[in-house]
Amino acid sequence: MEKTLNKTVSINIFILTLSLILISSITLSFLKSSHLHLPLPSIPRSSDKSCDVFKGKWVPYPQGPPYYSNETCRMIIDQQNCMKFGRPDTEFMKWRWKPDECQLPLFDAAQFLEIVKGKSMAFVGDSVGRNQMESLLCLLAHEADPEDITQNKSAEKNYFQRWFYADYNFTLAAFWSPFLVKSELQTSMVSSTFTSMKPTKHGQTRSRNSTM
């Protein structure tokens, strides 16, 4: 049961993070800028309903360059550095999300950093959440190089990571917490029904003042 619950939590965190990235893309599409002109989502005129960006699929994007690589992102660790260890192709890095009813603009690091200026963002979860935070770090590497302030804030570097973008007063973090809540089962019999749910110590104390 514990393994099933772990798997379910990891899947939910992945879906939540994907939703966050998609929502950020939509927000960026409506942000006006005098020096950046990104295409807005093109919703069919014949339809009165708005575009549901969560209904779609991943499609090849061969004409575009990779979002990032080991040459553009210094935060990629060896275990994830396919190119460093001889992978010859780059097709696996050329995909994008395509909603069924509209087109999303490409992620723009400069606009994203303007939106989150003065804020903090935390990815709370296991290694999946940490990987997604590191992916966002690499997406932003085209625009800004953050300072690793993990050692200044926490001695547990394997579990907590913090990066600070001084020009934007923005902090990006990953907090290790496989469970956002503690579950308590019925004591009278073996049951999968949750009788109560409480915030975990890490999930409660490490995520204050952060957008998750």
Tens of pLDDT, residues 83-122: 777 878 878 888 889 999 898 888 899 999 999 999 999 9
- Beta-strand runs (E) in 45-129: 56-60, 95-99, 120-125
In this predicted structure, what is the pLDDT of residue 106? Answer: 86
- The pLDDT confidence band at residue 37, using thresholds 50, 70 and 90, is very low
In this predicted structure, what is the pLDDT of residue 115? Answer: 96
What is the dihedral sign for C-alpha 141, 67, 115, 35? positive
Helix (H, G, I), strand (E, B) or coil at 176: strand
Mean pLDDT confidence for 197-205: 50
Higher pLDDT, 23 or 10: 10
C-alpha of 75 from chain center: 15
Size of the chain, expressed as the number of residues it contains: 212
* pLDDT tens digits along 118-157: 999 999 888 888 888 989 998 999 899 999 998 765 556 6
What is the dihedral sign for C-alpha 76, 80, 82, 84? positive
Mean pLDDT of the chain: 72
What is the dihedral sign for C-alpha 67, 71, 73, 75? positive
Owner of token pair 């606009």:
111
- How far apart are alpha carbons 9 and 108 in whole angstroms? 29
| Domain ranges (residues) in the chain | 2-29+53-205
- Residue (of 129, 111, 69) closest to 94 by Cα position: 69
- Tokens standing for 39? 């295409």
In degrees, rounded to 5, the angle at the alpha carbon of residue 148 between the alpha carbons of residues 142 and 152 is 160
- The pLDDT confidence band at residue 160, using thresholds 50, 70 and 90, is confident
Owner of token pair 């990571």:
161
